[in-house]
A and B are shown apart, each in its own frame.
Chain A
Amino acid sequence: MRGAVRPGPLQDARRRDRPHAGRLRPLGGTSPLGRPTLKVSTMATTATGSSTYTHDHGHGHVDDRSFIRKYIFSTDHKIIGIQFLIMSLSFLLLGGTLAMVMRWQLGFPGKPLPGGTLLPDTYTSNGVVLPEFYNSAVTMHGTFMVFFAIMPLLVGVFGNYLIPLKIGAPDMAFPRINMASFWTAVPAGLLMLAGFFVEGGSAAAGWTSYAPLSARSDLTGVHLGQIFWCLSLIILGLSSIMGSFNYITTVINMRAPGMNWFRLPLSIWALFVTACLVLLAIPVLSGAAILLLFDQTIGTHFFDPQAGGQPLLWQHLFWFFGHPEVYILILPGMGMVSDIIANGARKPIFGYTSMVLAIIAIGFLGWGVWGHHMFQSGMNPTLGTTFMISTLLIAVPSAIKTFNWLGTIWEGNITFHVPMLHALAFVSMFVIGGLSGVFMAASPFDIYIHDTYFIVAHLHYVLFGGSLFAIFAAVTYWYPKMFGRMMNPFWGKVHFWLTLVFYNCTFFPMHQLGLHGHMRRIYDPTQYAFLREVQPVNVFISISAFCLFATQFLFAANFILSWFKGEKAPMNPWLDNGLEWTVASPPPHGNFGDVVPTVYRGPYEYSSPHSDQDYLPQNLPMPGGMGAAHPQPAGD
């Protein structure tokens, strides 16, 4: 009966069904958005007087942990998330610096690198970058960015920070394993870094470490560095596996009452599927890295063709991990951007269920496409066709997500707060990157552009334009929750616009370079006559890249200064429905105190016709004013 009168899912209600259609009602006070804000706690009390909504953390909870247990060897998922944040932002800076070295060399080959004379002789000669150093910069840039910056930023930081808070759990399922996960990631990073200081320099066979280049030190002159690369990734693998099975268990078993699967925020869905991918993909990389390590150290011959080994085997193992990995690097971003876009548009996310299904579909399809990295490897061409078709298929769920984002902002009353700007940039940049992906998925085209700058353009559109913009969005969005202060919105906007412009100036021309035949990972483009004519493009890219890099210091400054000086953040600065916004900023140890939050609906009830407010938090039993007429939930 109830089913029959149900007017249809709220998630997709159109604007005319919604009295406020994305407009915030002026209700006193000004939020950091510069918009009127609600007094959340008053609202909750008038609605029901229920203690599930307002939490009194003032008494009964004395945090008597020592400094070390609280901030260093902490088992609190929030602290671990922030630790990951600091670690991976540092590696992001390092990776960026290495990119500047590369861009200097590509833009101005043969000119001394500024500050280059300070580097050891094995890196530069008279300040000019040596080919060996160039190779190691390329390799380490990719490695640090993928494994130590983007992946921990998305999975380590937001997986940790958001999952328990958003599902209403006091912490992760295994807090001590969670702590171990961070404290294995740190030595892994340091070990990778140590490569720079040993004889022969760091690994230099590319972030993909193709064998036999990586397996035989006589080919590159790098021995210890490559060993460190393998060891570091094996250790990091342990960290990732500890993290991922923790996340999965937490999401399955620790959701608050009422938080059923289809009320989970999309960010949690995405992080959940990502954790499954990490769990199943990382061990394959660990296995491959172990085999490579044995080839280098104890003389096995897995990848050495002279002794019957198979270099192609490395590629298969690496990309069998590697393609799920690229989805690990984008799915959490997609999820968090979905949350932010719904918030910024003040509308429910369009097509919630199809979003979830698309995430799951990507999670499955991602396993069957790895061969698209190997069209040119000498793999059987019939196999190539299969991989081409599966790759084209995977564009479908990605497109579904894109159209749903567009559907969400359609007719919304958009609040252009900084996270929203980054989220919108994410969508647009991901579309460009996704389209070039579809190009490359077609093997006839890929044969032409494989291993050129077209690939570099593609991967930066999805990884910088996609993942990193999502990270900027997420960091600014959850910063108030993490640190209890707002980031400066003005400098946030300046940073956003400059980044967007310089980013496109840097990476868009790379498509053109790639089509012109400019190879990836070359030391000096001007040694080829056909590339000399596009050298001005390289110069333009390099200058844009320097500006892009410089712009990031605005973000760093904003991040650090706001930590100390930022405006104090209210409990719910973005007027969001998620559970994390119903507790103090920052939330206390144990998150929800003694109260188990109870969840009544999905997280996207913006402009709900059932509320006289503009939004409807997930744990509010009844919309304002109607509460008294309805039974209280059990245990309340």
Chain B
Amino acid sequence: MAHAAMPEDVMLPPPSRAAGAGVYTEKLGMWIFLGSEVMFFTALIGTYVILRFAHPSSWKPPGQVLNIPVTAVNTFLLICSSVTMVKAFAAVQDGFLKQLRLWLLATVIIGASFVGVQVYEYTHLIEKGFIPSEGLYGSTFYTMTGFHGFHVTIGVLCMIFVTQKAFRGKYSQADHRGVEVIGLYWHFVDLVWIILFTIVYLI
């Protein structure tokens, strides 16, 4: 009787299910980390939007200073690298380890080319006299694309790490956490670029 009156909390054995989000720790950690990246880019993009609304005259019409075709190709490259990343993940899920290596390698190469094209773009712009201290236009352009490029560079470095692990046979159909986690980051960086490309180059 005394037992019947006891609150559940005291009576019941603990639930057998493990506590947690049902997602493995590395993946959960990456999702949470991306939350902080979102806020970082929000600060940059917010700054851009505010400054641009306040001083529209500091901006040149699209295409006048920035070379849209080159960057469009570059954007296409980055999107391709997301596709190869998806392919790599799909391959390892199906247990095709050889394909995994090839797709990862492709992602590294395309990602690195993106950074290369961006460096090329910068050098040209600087030669033309469009530098970071060139009013608000230059300030925002270099800061935003630069920090994105920095993220891609970090991504490429991590991707190289994952690729070399793949070549050493560290991933399998059963355990390929590294591939999935770096994939999340990669797609995020890609997504940010699509926003940046639109607002910095096209509008």
Contacts and interface: CB of A to CB of B under 8 A. Distances in A.
Interface of A: 2-3, 5-10, 173-174, 241, 244-246, 248-249, 252-260, 263, 279-284, 286-288, 290-291, 294, 298-302, 307-310, 313, 316-317, 598-602, 608, 610, 616, 621, 623, 630-634
B14 interface: yes
6 contacts: A5-B5, A241-B33, A253-B25, A260-B19, A302-B139, A634-B13
A128 B100 CA distance: 70
Nearest to B43: A287
Contacts of B33: 241, 245
Given A284-B43, A313-B47, A634-B16, A300 B132 contact: yes
B127 interface: no
Given A8-B7, A280-B35, A290 B14 contact: no
Q: Name the residue among B14, B35, B55, B133 with the largest chain A CB count within 10 angstroms.
A: B14
Interface of B: 4-16, 18-21, 23-25, 28-29, 32-33, 35-37, 39-40, 42-44, 46-47, 50-51, 54-55, 58, 132-133, 135-136, 138-140, 142-143, 147
A257 B15 contact: yes
A283 B13 contact: no
Contacts of B46: 317
Contact of A279 (B14, B16, B36, B58): B36
A307 B135 contact: yes
Contacts, number: 157
A291 B9 contact: no
Nearest to B48: A302
Contact of B14 (A3, A6, A254, A600): A600
A248 B31 CA distance: 11
Given A294-B143, A300-B132, A282 B36 contact: yes
A245 B40 CA distance: 14
A601 to B, nearest CB: 5
B20 A255 contact: yes
Given A245-B29, A284-B40, A310 B54 contact: yes
B139 A10 contact: no
B135 A253 contact: no
Contacts of A253: 19-21, 23-25, 28
A618 to B, nearest CB: 10
Contacts of B135: 301, 307-308
A254 B21 CA distance: 10
B55 A308 contact: yes
Pairs of residues from A and B, 4 with the lowest C-beta to C-beta distance, nearest first: A258-B14, A299-B133, A287-B43, A300-B139
A313 B138 contact: no
Contact of B16 (A8, A257, A290): A257
A281 B38 CA distance: 11
Contacts of B43: 283-284, 286-288, 317
A257 B18 contact: yes
Contacts of B16: 257, 634
Given A279-B32, A284-B40, A10 B54 contact: no
A549 to B, nearest CB: 37
Nearest to B57: A308
B50 A310 contact: yes
B7 A9 contact: yes
A138 B136 CA distance: 32
B143 A633 contact: no
Contact of B10 (A298, A310, A623): A623
A287 B5 contact: no
A9 B138 CA distance: 61
Contacts of A258: 14-15, 19
A252 B20 contact: yes
Q: Name the residue among A246, A284, A633 with the largest chain B CB count within 10 angstroms.
A: A284
A600 B58 CA distance: 64
